[in-house]
Chain A
Amino acid sequence: IAGITQAPTSQILAAGRRMTLRCTQDMRHNAMYWYRQDLGLGLRLIHYSNTAGTTGKGEVPDGYSVSRANTDDFPLTLASAVPSQTSVYFCASSENPTNFGEQFFGPGTRLTVL
């Protein structure tokens, strides 16, 4: 593994189902982030974690939860998916919470909720 990996690459999900998007980094970065990318809206922060064991809410946290049990992993869970959660989801990390914008991004997960 080099950098950030996300799984799955894409997923089609029925509304009401539970889904966990996985994110793993091997850079020992302290801070990690989950964004969703929607056409014409850019990236919006869902949740973040400045260090293992802590998490915080971003701009659009409703319907999502995260955990940060260790440094490397930052899973994002949709407890009961809705069609408005159809989006491309990007996980990112930075060495520290303040690092002059140097966030490293994963390749993204394309999620479709029907």
Chain B
Amino acid sequence: GEDVEQSLFLSVREGDSSVINCTYTDSSSTYLYWYKQEPGAGLQLLTYIFSNMDMKQDQRLTVLLNKKDKHLSLRIADTQTGDSAIYFCAESMDNYGQNFVFGPGTRLSVLP
């Protein structure tokens, strides 16, 4: 079946760039997403990318997609303490909400 994998933990210094990686197995994935979960809260959509794109940039966020290797990354420039959260990668082949597959989440800790 479909599987999405992520490293569970990442620590960076404030002001540095963070790179959160994700790999997926379903080659028919059409839509790929990054969600952020702050402590005690639900998930919030950060950004998404279509499989026919290589890169998407939105302010401090850059998403890179390597479709050949089924690898997705989220880069956060100038990481701030407010970026400390769990980041979930998710994929879907048809954009129907019930077909999303979420990764286990990467807990990002930003050190002063």
A76-104 with Cβ < 8 A to chain B: 90, 92, 94, 97-104
**Across the interface, which residues of B come within 8 angstroms of A44, CB to CB?**
102
Chain B nearest CB from A93 CB (Å) reads 9
Number of interface residues of B (CB under 8 A): 25
Question: Which of the four size classes fits the interface of chain A?
Answer: 20 to 34
Interface presence of A75 (CB below 8 A):
no
What 1/0 flags go to A41-58 for Cβ under 8 Å of B? Answer: 111110010100000101
| Cβ-closest chain A residue relative to B8 | A40
The chain A residue sitting closest to B104, CB to CB, is A42
Residue numbers in A under 8 Å from B112 (CB-CB) = none
Q: Which of A48, A100, A106 has the most CB of B within 10 A?
A: A100
A48 touches B98 (CB 8 A): yes
Closest Cβ of chain B to A40, distance in Å, is 5
Q: Which 8 residue pairs are nearest across A and B when measured between Cβ atoms?
A: A105-B42, A42-B102, A48-B98, A101-B33, A43-B102, A98-B95, A42-B104, A105-B43
Tell me the B residues contacting A by CB distance below 8 Å: 4, 8, 31, 33, 35, 40-45, 48, 88, 90, 92, 94-98, 100, 102-105
B-contacting residues of A (Cβ < 8 Å)?
Answer: 4, 31, 33, 40-45, 48, 50, 56, 58, 90, 92, 94, 97-108
